[in-house]
Amino acid sequence: MSAPPAPPPQQHAADAPPAERTGPGLVRRVWASYAFRRIRQSVFVIWLVATITFLLMHFMPGDPIQIMAGRLNSSGMSHEQAVATATNIISYDPNANVWVQYLDFLKGLVTFDLGNSLTNPSKTVFEHVMEYLPWTLFAVGAGVALAIVIGLTVGMAAAYRRGSAFDHAMTSIGSFLTGVPNYILIAAVIVVGYTMLGVLPFLDMRGRITAGVEPGFNLVFFGDAIFHAILPIIAFAFTATGSFMLNMKAATTEVLTEDYVTVAQARGLKAGRISRGYVGRNAMLPIIPQIALQLGTLVGGSIVIEQILQYPGAGQMLMQAISNRDYPVVQAAVIILATSVVIASLIVDLFLVRVDPRIKTEGQEA
Amino acid sequence: MTTTLDAAIAKPRKQFGETFLGRLWTGLTRSSAGFAGTLLVLAIVLFSFVGPLLVDQDNPTDTTQIWTEPSAEHWLGTQYEGKDTFTILVNSGAQPIWVGTLAALMAVFIAVALGSIAGYFRGRVDAVLLQLTDVTVTIPQFLLMLAVVAFFEDIPPWGISIVVGSTMWAFLFRSIRAQVMSLKEREFVEAARLQNLGPARIVFREILPNMAGFIFVNFVISVNQAIYAIVGLYVLGLMPSGTPNWGLMIHQSWGQNFYLNPIALPFVVAPLIMIVLFTIGLVTMGRGLDQALNPRLRER
């Protein structure tokens, strides 16, 4: 998934002028290749998000140093000391010219040094965020995986039984899941399951692991971690399942009318082989870009879901930082979460090109 | 939600059944589910905008009436300050709905403007706009909104509409552009071009009216997406808490652990139900319209 492979020169020798085969031509081809275009674009988006957070912090009403010093001050530090600490925490010199500050900030960004946390000054903000991020990524990843399995199977089954009661029921459920915000659905699950019926042990499910369980490479730990993550995973799966279901149904319906399916049937191939090798594989193609989109929405939405479920992932940490006015952490968390979304969708897109080479030329039509 | 690229394409200027309003009416009444969705949306809009005029707005804090059961006097009981829950609920819908609608209007407006320019003129402008969409789609919207709200604490609700609208348009842009590109090749547009009517007139009088149904369906879907973001920000408690609204009620229920308390159920559940009903209404309305206005989808 890293560097785009340069096309072997002899492959295009026939239609390319000889000059193309020399150094500059190769550089140009790599530069114009799909993978490299996507990588450039991803770097650009990460830079853009980082710059927006810098601008927001710079132009926010009030002086961030004074606000942070005010907080330290209220926790018993003298005013001068508080201002000095706050100044130290920010990775750039607050009295310097904006451009110098910005360059310092960019330098901090590439060296993973965006200052220290206000509430926990012994740690850099990157270390602080990284402590929480894996839990969120784990829950989001598991949720999306669950949604892919359920969504694709049910969507395809609905397309095969088009017009049946099963199809109508599943299409309604799919619209319901895509339409209603996932944090509302999971809130309803808790209220009904715990507060009303008392069947859901919600109070024990909060947090990452049960007190007393040692993190380690053993079944008890994994079982416990999954027990605590199950509600977030379900919450993340809600919207994505509905969306994959509806899209897979539409895509399968379309593929089923294709000539190659009829030909395969005429050749007497087994129904199972047709549905897997001919229908399923082609119907899946339009779903793959949806996965990247869902990942982006889910990581953003994780902030609300983790708050509702009291799950201490990156989202809850970000909310904590916002209410503590720990601006360096807020900034780093936004940048890191955005980066993880951008990288995930980059991987999905590069994978998609392998499966469906038609995409390579899509952006280039002019 | 997917909408097939070819939307309602009718020959311009026909009897009522063929006009946009006519088709909108058919679309809303053709399927019973779509009609029910429309009624649901209308009911909640009326409840939230006309309701506040009909209920007694005097709702004082009353410490002797905390968490009372639903009764004839207090239909949904009272909340943690002894205020009437039903009155709060009636007043809570207007803000999310208008903020969401404004955001969706903005997203649709930008998408239509840029989409028609890109689809009609193609060439360099098109390439640049496509690049811009690619970038905008990749930016995690909710995170960006959260960052804006975190740093600018006193952002007004319409400010949120702008932030939501200016990130949401990109999802619509491609389909609008594809529509314009396909309509541009139709005979009636070619006829208009031969009469030398000028691009502005062709786009506004010939192309856009013919995709009005498609645009409207996407507007309905966008309202739903905007509601997701806006209610989410209120649930997190990041927005000014002056006006009562559904998200704020959920924020209070969760922030003070009322949701674990059976006695508080009416206050906790009421906003959840309102949001579920409103979003389901929007989705079924959108699907019903889509099927009726979208000839290719209708066959399925």
* Average confidence (pLDDT) over A130-159: 89
A181:B236 CB<8 A: no
Report the residue from A53, A303, A338 with minimal CB separation from B236: A303
**Residue B298 confidence (pLDDT):** 41
* Average confidence (pLDDT) over A270-292: 81
The pLDDT tens digits of the residues spanning B206-258 come to 777 777 778 888 888 888 888 888 888 888 887 777 778 888 888 888 888 87
What is the distance in angstroms between the Cα of B147 and the nearest Cα belonging to chain A?
7
**Residue A11 confidence (pLDDT):** 42
Residue A205 has pLDDT above 80, yes or no: no
Residue B35 burial (C-beta neighbours within 10 Å; 0-12, 13-18, 19+): middle
Report the residue from B126, B151, B250 with minimal CB separation from A56: B151
B2:A42 CB<8 A: no
B276:A180 CB<8 A: yes
A153 and A184 in one domain? yes
**Residue B277 confidence (pLDDT):** 92
Residue that wins the pLDDT comparison between A4 and B191: B191
B259 touches chain A (CB under 8 A): yes
- Of A309, A329, A348, the last residue of a domain is A309
pLDDT band at B10 (very low <50, low <70, confident <90, very high): very low
Does B215 reside within a domain? yes
A210 and A334 in one domain? no
Return the DSSP state at A363: G
Q: How far apart are CA B277 and CA B275, in angstroms?
A: 5
Q: Are the beta carbons of A191 and B268 closer than 8 angstroms?
A: yes
**What residues of chain B lie within 8 A of the CB of A191, using their CB?**
259, 265, 268-269, 272
Residue A8 has pLDDT above 90, yes or no: no
Does B139 reside within a domain? yes
With a CB-CB cutoff of 8 Å, which residues 81-120 of chain B face chain A?
Answer: none
Does B78 reside within a domain? no
* Average confidence (pLDDT) over B86-107: 87
Percent of chain A with pLDDT over 90: 3
Q: Which of A123-127, A216-220, A284-288, B101-105 has the highest mean pLDDT?
A: B101-105
B151:A60 CB<8 A: yes
The amino acid at B299? E
A351 and A292 in one domain? no
**What residues of chain A lie within 8 A of the CB of B241, using their CB?**
none
**What residues of chain B lie within 8 A of the CB of A320, using their CB?**
none
B125 touches chain A (CB under 8 A): no
**Residue B291 confidence (pLDDT):** 74
B198 touches chain A (CB under 8 A): no
Q: Enter the tokens of residue A265.
A: 């049937």
**Residue A16 confidence (pLDDT):** 43
Q: How far apart are CA A319 and CA A306, in angstroms?
A: 10
Does B66 reside within a domain? no
Query: Where are the alpha helices (H) located in A75-162, listed in sequence order?
Result: 79-89, 98-110, 125-160
Q: Are the beta carbons of B203 and B121 closer than 8 angstroms?
A: no
Residue A10 has pLDDT above 50, yes or no: no
A121 and A60 in one domain? yes
What is the distance in angstroms between the Cα of B15 and the nearest Cα belonging to chain A?
32
The domain that holds B267 is classified in CATH as: 1.10.3720.10
Q: How many residues does chain A have?
A: 366
Report the domain count for chain A. 2
Among the listed ranges B39-48, B69-78, B141-150, B251-260, which one has the minimum average pLDDT value?
A: B69-78
Report the domain count for chain B. 1
What is the distance in angstroms between the Cα of B35 and the nearest Cα belonging to chain A?
15
Report the residue from A48, A53, A250 with minimal CB separation from B135: A48
A302 and A165 in one domain? yes
Return the DSSP state at A359: G
A184:B254 CB<8 A: no
B134 touches chain A (CB under 8 A): yes
How confident is the prediction for chain A on average, in pLDDT?
78
B135:A162 CB<8 A: no
The domain that holds A158 is classified in CATH as: 1.10.3720.10
With a CB-CB cutoff of 8 Å, which residues 144-183 of chain B face chain A?
Answer: 144, 146-148, 150-154
Percent of chain B with pLDDT over 90: 4
Does B107 reside within a domain? yes
Residue in B151, B299, B300 to test binding to A, most A beta-carbons within 10 Å: B151
Residue A18 has pLDDT above 70, yes or no: no
Residue B149 has pLDDT above 50, yes or no: yes
Return the DSSP state at A362: G
- Count chain A–chain B contacts defined by CB atoms under 8 A: 157
Q: Which of A247-251, B76-80, B177-181 has the highest mean pLDDT?
A: A247-251
- Residue B36: which domain range? 21-58+86-297
- Of A309, A325, A348, the last residue of a domain is A309
A301 and A213 in one domain? yes
**Residue B300 confidence (pLDDT):** 37
Does A100 reside within a domain? yes
A336 and A325 in one domain? yes
Which residue carries 């995690």 as its tokens? Answer: B140
Does A124 reside within a domain? yes
B276:A188 CB<8 A: yes
A115 and A53 in one domain? yes
| Of A32, A46, A112, residue with least CA distance to A346 | A46
* Average confidence (pLDDT) over A225-246: 87
Q: How far apart are CA A185 and CA A281, in angstroms?
A: 32
Residue B47 has pLDDT above 80, yes or no: yes
Which residue carries 């140093």 as its tokens? Answer: A65
**What residues of chain A lie within 8 A of the CB of B298, using their CB?**
none
Does B48 reside within a domain? yes
Percent of chain A with pLDDT over 70: 85
Sequence-ordered list of residues with C-beta below 8 angstroms from that of B261, at least 6 positions apart, any chain? A195
Does B181 reside within a domain? yes
Does A303 reside within a domain? yes
The pLDDT tens digits of the residues spanning A33-42 come to 778 888 888 8
Residue A34's Cβ-side half-sphere holds a number of Cα atoms within 13 Å equal to: 19
Does A11 reside within a domain? no
SS (H, E, C) chain B: CCCCCCCCCCCCCCCHHHCHHHHHHHHHHHCHHHHHHHHHHHHHHHHHHCHHHHCCCCCCCCHHHCCCCCCCCCCCCECCCCCEHHHHHHHHCHHHHHHHHHHHHHHHHHHHHHHHHHHHHCHHHHHHHHHHHHHHHHCCHHHHHHHHHHHCCCCCHHHHHHHHHHHHCHHHHHHHHHHHHHHHCCHHHHHHHHCCCCHHHHHHHHHHHHCHHHHHHHHHHHHHHHHHHHHHHHHCCCCCCCCCCHHHHHHHHHHCCHHHCHHHHHHHHHHHHHHHHHHHHHHHHHHHHHHHHCHHHHCC
3-state secondary structure of A245: helix
B141 touches chain A (CB under 8 A): yes
Does A88 reside within a domain? no
- Of A269, A291, A309, the last residue of a domain is A309
The pLDDT tens digits of the residues spanning B185-204 come to 788 878 887 887 777 778 77
Among the listed ranges A124-133, A140-149, A209-218, which one has the minimum average pLDDT value?
A: A209-218
Return the DSSP state at B5: S
B232:A41 CB<8 A: no
A184:B275 CB<8 A: yes
The pLDDT tens digits of the residues spanning A288-344 come to 878 877 887 888 888 889 888 888 888 888 888 888 777 788 888 888 888 888 888
The CA-based angle A150-A152-A154, given to 5 degrees, is 65
A356 and A225 in one domain? no
pLDDT band at B292 (very low <50, low <70, confident <90, very high): confident
Residue in B32, B131, B142 to test binding to A, most A beta-carbons within 10 Å: B142
**Residue A150 confidence (pLDDT):** 93
Does B14 reside within a domain? no
Report the residue from B2, B151, B276 with minimal CB separation from A57: B151
pLDDT band at B102 (very low <50, low <70, confident <90, very high): very high
Q: Which of A75-79, A164-168, B183-187 has the highest mean pLDDT?
A: A164-168
A318 and A271 in one domain? no
Specify which residues A116 forms β-bridges with: A124
A197 and A109 in one domain? no
A61:B148 CB<8 A: no
A331 and A289 in one domain? no
Report the residue from B261, B275, B284 with minimal CB separation from A175: B284
- Residue A300: which domain range? 133-309
B272:A304 CB<8 A: no
**What residues of chain A lie within 8 A of the CB of B153, using their CB?**
61
